[in-house]
Amino acid sequence: MTGQVTFGDLLDVARGHVDQAGRGPWLRGGRDLPDVAGSMHVLALAIGGCVRDTGDRDSRVPAGNAEPASPWPAARAKARLAAFLAAQQLRPPLLSGRAETGVSERGQHLQAAARALAAGGDLLATHAGRDADGAWAGRSAWSPAVRSAEVSRAMAAEMGELARHVAAVAAGMVAAAPARPDELGKARQDMAVACRYLRMLAAAVRDAHQQEPVPGDDRELLRATPAAVAPARRLPDGSEPAGALCAGVIAAAERLRQSTWAAAGRPGWSPSVSAEALRYAAAAGVAVNHHCAELLRRLGEQAQPVELAAALTQAGQAAGHASVSQTRSTSAAPKTSTWQQIT
């Protein structure tokens, strides 16, 4: 709703580039295989880097109950090892006269796929960090989900499918290239071995999925994860329709949420943590609830059917009550305009 890039967007970009790499153009005799092999090395590392363990328990298991043995930790370990072996098989020599990888069109697409996956990993990393004691600490409301067992399984499932896709594309390249006793032949052989490792990765994930299927909702949660970055500031000019006002309130609330998480991570002696700053944040919360109440009330007056109108009106009343409660809890009245407070 804020127009932010999500992990799913970057995953789709990676898949699209793998598709393009499989469509060519094909150089006669497989002359671009050494370059493609070097690019696949980077992509295999990116796939392995996305498959990770989590220390959090499954949220679907009630607290106090023993968790059933899951096949996913072992599957993730096998997947990471298979990705490492594939990357090692394709590792370009440190000393050679070979040009930099990603020169051919197919190599460029595989490099772009690897960059998209790496960006996806960086996006997820924005939700976690280390506190002053070196312990893990969340940086956003998404951090519990990002660290959950459900999202870890979904990530492994997505990487298993991507590895199978990459293996199929690479196998087509190997089949189209003739066997030769030179550098091109060596690249062809290395890619064939790497394809077997990528298929092993996909098989480990497939076996775990057969024993403990990954629900579609978990995949959707992973794909919907945005970066923990505050949306751009949006100031109104007075001509916005209701939809634009709602989007502005949502963006402002997200900016407030991000600033709250950032403040929580600062030490108490930080100059930026002060009574004035906290009063400012409280005033912004009042403004957000006030505008939500007003928008919901106006929408409830025009909504059809009656049930929807009643639900909107009730939600507006709840937001209004929250605004009143927050107003009583802060002793500092806003000295600037409402929109300046929340944006």
Q: How far apart, in whole angstroms, are the C-alpha atoms of residue 144 and residue 56?
A: 9
All structural domains of the chain with their residue ranges: 7-224, 242-342
146's tokens: 């990002």
Averaged pLDDT, 230-239: 79
**DSSP label at residue 268:** T
Q: What is the pLDDT of residue 271?
A: 64
Q: How far apart, in whole angstroms, are the C-alpha atoms of residue 216 and residue 13?
A: 20
pTM of the model: 0.70
Most confident of 33-37, 53-57, 137-141: 33-37
β-bridge mates for residue 130, sequence order: 136
For 242-292, what is each residue's pLDDT tens digit? 788 788 877 877 777 777 666 666 665 566 656 677 677 777 778 777 878
Q: How confident is the model at residue 165 (pLDDT cuts 50, 70, 90)?
A: very high
For 97-116, what is each residue's pLDDT tens digit? 444 555 788 889 999 999 99
Give me the percent of the chain exceeding a pLDDT of 70. 76
Q: What is the pLDDT of residue 284?
A: 74
Q: What is the pLDDT of residue 183?
A: 76
Contact between 288 and 249 (Cβ < 8 Å): yes
Q: What is the pLDDT of residue 329?
A: 59
Angle between helices 33-50 and 105-125 (to 10 degrees): 10
Residue 103: which of 190, 31, 36, 154 has the closest Cα? 36
Strand stretches in the chain, DSSP E: 128-130, 136-138
For 146-155, what is each residue's pLDDT tens digit? 889 999 999 9
Contact between 286 and 327 (Cβ < 8 Å): yes
Angle between helices 216-224 and 149-176 (to 10 degrees): 90
Q: How far apart, in whole angstroms, are the C-alpha atoms of residue 24 and residue 172?
A: 11
How confident is the prediction for the chain on average, in pLDDT?
Answer: 80
Tokens 């929250």 sit at which residue?
322
Considering only 3-7, 101-105, 130-134, 294-298, which range has the smallest mean pLDDT? 130-134
Averaged pLDDT, 126-137: 70
The larger pLDDT score, comparing residue 207 to residue 126, is at 207
